Copies of this chain bind each other. A is one copy, B any other.
Amino acid sequence: MKIDGKEGRALWFENGAIKFIDQRKLPYKLEYYTAKTVDECAFAIKEMVVRGAPAIGATAVYGIVIGVNDLENTAEILRKTRPTAYDLFYAIEYMLEKIKECINPLNAADAYVEDIIDRCRRIGEHGEPLIKNGMKILTHCNAGALATVDYGTALSPFYIAHRRGKKFFVFADETRPRCQGLLTDWELEQEGIEHAVIADNAAGYYMKNGDIDMIITGADRIAGNGDFANKIGTYEKAVLAKENNIPFYVAAPISTFDDNLRSGDEILIEERGREELAVVNNCKIMPDYTKVKNPAFDVTPNKYVTGFITEDGIIKKL
């Protein structure tokens, strides 16, 4: 990813500490957060200095490196940060295993992070040929480098295509309630990819007018039958894409596929608090009496998916 014109990452290990782009401050300010202790690593995860399952996994492996002299306690502190993040638990177990095998912890952690980045880069390689010169492409939420240390999932094909000189335009859904579209906006702005943010309500308008040629989103979890969970609003865009004959791709690493789930019906959707809707950038935008309902994710049935862009190629669940 580009940060102020230089090649960078959402987080990295340096002088015994983790350095993060502080995502609490984005897109308003570019600041860094340094975690020198295990507690600071836990804070970074809990308080969303870092977000996105792969980036949280990367934080956990380096967190184990920092706390390697008190391994059991470190693992316990990190496990307690975000109880539903699968990558977090996987990353901790991976490190415990490697240390048991007497592999150097920092080498193991670096290998883990490089593997994440390499998978994202390969997602980009497989997705890149879908992007033709002059295309207009919609994305929802932020499935970018900020969430995966580098490249991202949905945004990875954009980066690769852009670096190969392709010209295209990206519509970034604002993605209420948390407005992660502004993180996508920030990433694309840093990279110099032409784009604009639109209200979530406007995506259908542009699709109907023939202004959107393709949609690429990420996925949080993909069931055995190809139904997938992603940020709230993804289902709306998928239905609108089908209605307007627009290809709808989902970019995600193979680890997102969970064949233990037979269908999307088995995916539980988290209902989150009213503050997410009522407060934006520390500003209260809704009166106190306003009641909200706030589902964080939705499930899009497989029938709306043109293909899943993975690190091993584009696949279709039948």
Query: Which residues of A are in contact with B by a Cβ distance under 8 Å?
Result: 27-28, 171, 174-177, 179, 182, 185-186, 189, 195-206, 208, 231-233, 235-236, 239-240, 243, 269, 277, 280-281, 283-287, 289-295, 298-299
Residues of B with C-beta under 8 A to A269: 205
Are B294's CB and A198's CB within 8 A?
Answer: yes
CB distance from A189 to the nearest CB of B (A): 6
Please state if B287 and A28 are interface contacts (CB–CB under 8 Å): yes
Q: Residue among A189, A236, A239 with the most chain B CB within 10 A?
A: A236
In contact, A236 and B203 (Cβ under 8 angstroms)? yes
Q: How many copies does the complex hold?
A: 2
Chain B residues closer than 8 Å to A299, beta-carbon distance: 208
> In the complex, what distance in Å separates the CA atom of A291 from the CA atom of B193?
12
> Given the interface contacts A176-B200, A176-B201, A293-B202, does A287 sit within 8 Å of B27 by beta carbon?
yes
Further contacts, 15 of them, CB under 8 A, given A197-B290, A239-B243? A27-B287, A27-B290, A177-B201, A185-B290, A196-B291, A196-B292, A196-B293, A197-B292, A200-B200, A205-B235, A208-B298, A208-B299, A236-B240, A239-B239, A280-B285
Q: How far is the CB of A74 from chain B (nearest CB, A)?
A: 37
Q: How far is the CA of A239 from the CA of B236 in the complex (A)?
A: 9
Chain B contacts for A199, CB-based, 8 A: 176-177, 200, 232-233, 277, 294
Give Cα distance in the complex from A143 to B282, angstroms: 29
CA distance A277 to B293 in the complex (A): 22
* B233, A201: Cβ atoms closer than 8 Å: yes
- B residues in contact with A203, CB < 8 Å: 236
Nearest-CB distance from A136 to chain B (Å)?
A: 11
Cβ distance A203 to chain B, nearest Cβ, rounded Å:
7
